[in-house]
Structure 1
Amino acid sequence: MEYRKLGNTDLALSAITYGAFAIGGNMWGGNERKDSIAAVHASLDHGVTSLDTAPFYGFGLSEKIIGEALQGKDRTKVQILTKFGLVWDGSNNGKGEYFFDAEDNGKSLPVYKYASKENLIKEVEESLQRLRTDYIDLLQLHWPDTTTPIDETMLALQQLLQQGKIRAAGVSNYSVEQLQDAGKTITPASNQVPYSMLNRSIEKEMVHYVREKKIGIIAYSPLERGLLSGKYFSGAKLKDDDHRNGYFGQFDPEAVKTLLTALAPLAEDKGASLARLVLRWTTQQPGITVALAGARNAEQAASNAKSMDFTLTQQELDFIQAQLQQL
């Protein structure tokens, strides 16, 4: 495993960081608690020291599972990355920016983006309880909230830094312009953004900006929620309540299948699965600090970690680039 400095902080994150969205269950067709805990433990056993979660994942369940899984572990050797700013329980009293309706056991819950100081402080205390810890290594704004001034949010994060409740402050899904506005108060340690072989939009402007400002990039959905693993072209099925039934529809299945077919011999040459090849490619792209990789069980978690067991040469990277240009 490689460990990489995050922005201008003293945090060193594992290049493959465990993504805990799916173990929350909601939107992913559920998951067994014992399998989720086993996935976290397997990640740690294979050198993954960084765990990325959020209150919204399972409406608190993902954070609770992370907290449970870390009992008895050396807290100083694990980096907990969580978020704030998505409210689903009505505690925002209609304030914030409406996002979408989520479903919880058949009940529709309106989700709001809400990044006020008051809400931030409240959410952090709740996350600390669920995670069973007294500090968060990286706290990230989950989504921009257009109803709250950016400087209000950044000043609140600065306060938490001073109090020692968080070690670093980051954002997610921010544009370059929003990063510039945030930088008038504090420079975020990182920006968590979508990035994959099928979605490389950040290469146009974002990568240059964050490298110049020494801001880390945490790449989410590098496998496009499993699509780039290839398993959904070889018989794997999704549950009816899995959000990916609709999500995958944005991609041309034949183009993706052609890409994976072209990459398969390289993966085989590396003794790796397609998923591991894709994850390794992601970690070797300019500006990318870490790649998030979700896992529902120990086997998947161990496989993700092994993505760092090999390196792609420049010639191999050029070959992949040539395939991507044909998409």
Structure 2
Amino acid sequence: MEYRKLGNTDLALSVITHGAFAIGGNMWGGNEKKDSIDSIHASLDYGVTTIDTAPFYGFGLSEEMIGEAIKGKDRSKIQLLTKFGLVWDGSNNGKGEFFFNAEDSGKQIPVFKYTAKANVIKEVEESLKRLGTDYIDLLQLHWPDNTTPIAETMEALELLIQQGKIRTAGVSNYDVDQLKEASQTLELASNQVSYSMLNRSIENNHVPYALATNTGIIVYSPMERGLLTGKYFNESKLSENDHRNGYFAQFDLDKVKTFLQVIEPIAQRKGATLSQLVLKWTTLQPAISIVLAGARNAQQAIENAKAVNINISDEELEIINNELSKF
């Protein structure tokens, strides 16, 4: 496994990080607890020391399973990354910014973006309990909340660092202007953003800013929620309540299928899967610190971890990038 320093911090994170959204189950058609915990154990066994989650994933379930999976293990060798700022239990008392209605057991649950200081502190205590730990390595704002001043949220993070409850702080889904405003109060370690072969918009502004300020970029959805594995063009069928039924509709699926057919021989020559080739390509892009890869079972976790072992030549990169330029 390869490990990279995150931005301006002393955190050394595994370049392939276990993304724990799917094991929470909600929005992903559910998942088996044993498979979820096995996926975490397999990640750790293959050198993936970093796990990224959030309270919203499974409404606390993802954090709880991570806590169970790492119980008794050497905590100093595991980096826990979680988030705050999405409230679904009504504890915000109507405050914050309405985000969307999440479905759980057939019920519509309103989710709010809420990053007021008191709520940040409250959520951290809840996450620490679920994770079974006394500190979080990287705490990240999940989504910007336009009803709370950025400075107030950053002050809460600064206090938590001083208290030793978090080692460092970052954000998710911030634009560059928001990053600049936040930096007036607190030096952020990272920004977690969506990035993939099919979604490269961060290259215009986020990447130059990250390079100029030594801010880490954590990538989520590098596989576009499984689309770039290629399997959904073959045998796989999504559950009715799987959010990807709608998510995949944003892409020109015929173009995506053609692209994967062109690059698949590169993966085959290396004895690798399309997933591994895509993950490796993502780790090679400028300013990228770590790449989140979801795994719902041990086999997927092992496959993700082994992606770092692939070597992509300059010629192969050129082939891939030339095909991507057609999108």
TM over 0.5: yes
Q: Shift in Å at residue 106 of structure 1?
A: 1.4
SS in 2 for 1:186: coil
User: Any unmatched runs of 5+ in structure 2?
Assistant: none
Q: Which residue of 2 aligns with 1:232?
A: 232
Q: Which residue of 2 aligns with 1:3?
A: 3
Count the aligned residue pairs.
Answer: 327
Q: Deviations over 1:283-325 (max 9, x none)?
A: 0000100110000000000000000012212222111110100
Q: Shift in Å at residue 36 of structure 1?
A: 0.2
Separation in 1 of the partners of 2:161 and 2:322? Answer: 44
Q: Which residue of 2 aligns with 1:222?
A: 222
Q: Deviations over 1:122-149 (max 9, x none)?
A: 0000000000000000000000000000
SS in 1 for 2:54: coil
Q: Which residue of 2 aligns with 1:256?
A: 256
Q: Which residue of 1 aligns with 2:111?
A: 111
Separation in 2 of the partners of 1:312 and 1:112? Answer: 42
Q: Which residue of 2 aligns with 1:68?
A: 68
Which residue identity is paired with 1:242?
D
Q: Which residue of 2 aligns with 1:143?
A: 143
Q: Which residue of 2 aligns with 1:309?
A: 309
| Structure 1 moving runs of 4+ over 2 Å | none
Separation in 2 of the partners of 1:34 and 1:104? Answer: 21
Separation in 2 of the partners of 1:287 and 1:322? Answer: 21
Q: Which residue of 2 aligns with 1:56?
A: 56
Q: Shift in Å at residue 72 of structure 1?
A: 1.4
After TM superposition, the structure 1 = structure 2 runs for residues 41-52 of structure 1, keeping only pairs within 5 Å, are 41-52=41-52
Q: Deviations over 1:134-177 (max 9, x none)?
A: 00000000000000000000011001011110011000000000
Q: Which residue of 1 aligns with 2:208?
A: 208
Which residue identity is paired with 2:324?
L
Separation in 2 of the partners of 1:233 and 1:169? Answer: 39
Separation in 1 of the partners of 2:103 and 2:295? Answer: 22
Which residue identity is paired with 2:13?
L
Normalising by structure 2, we get a TM-score of: 0.99
Identity, in percent, stands at 68
Q: Shift in Å at residue 2 of structure 1?
A: 0.4
Separation in 2 of the partners of 1:132 and 1:250? Answer: 39
Normalising by structure 1, we get a TM-score of: 0.99
Q: Which residue of 2 aligns with 1:95?
A: 95
Separation in 2 of the partners of 1:115 and 1:313? Answer: 44
SS in 1 for 2:98: strand
User: Any unmatched runs of 5+ in structure 1?
Assistant: none
Q: Which residue of 1 aligns with 2:131?
A: 131
Q: Which residue of 2 aligns with 1:268?
A: 268
SS in 1 for 2:199: coil
Separation in 1 of the partners of 2:107 and 2:133? Answer: 31
Q: Which residue of 2 aligns with 1:194?
A: 194
Which residue identity is paired with 1:83?
K
Q: Deviations over 1:81-134 (max 9, x none)?
A: 000000000000000000000111111111000000000000000000000000
Separation in 2 of the partners of 1:27 and 1:37? Answer: 19
Q: Shift in Å at residue 240 of structure 1?
A: 0.6
Q: Which residue of 2 aligns with 1:22?
A: 22
Q: Which residue of 2 aligns with 1:323?
A: 323
Separation in 2 of the partners of 1:237 and 1:78? Answer: 34
Q: Which residue of 1 aligns with 2:157?
A: 157
Separation in 2 of the partners of 1:2 and 1:259? Answer: 28
Q: Deviations over 1:42-100 (max 9, x none)?
A: 00000000000000000000000000000111100000000000000000000000000
Q: Deviations over 1:9-39 (max 9, x none)?
A: 1101100000000000000000000000000
Given that 2:17 and 2:290 are in contact with CA atoms closer than 8 Å, whether structure 1 keeps it comes out as yes
Given that 2:277 and 2:310 are in contact with CA atoms closer than 8 Å, whether structure 1 keeps it comes out as no
SS in 2 for 1:197: coil
Q: Shift in Å at residue 235 of structure 1?
A: 1.1
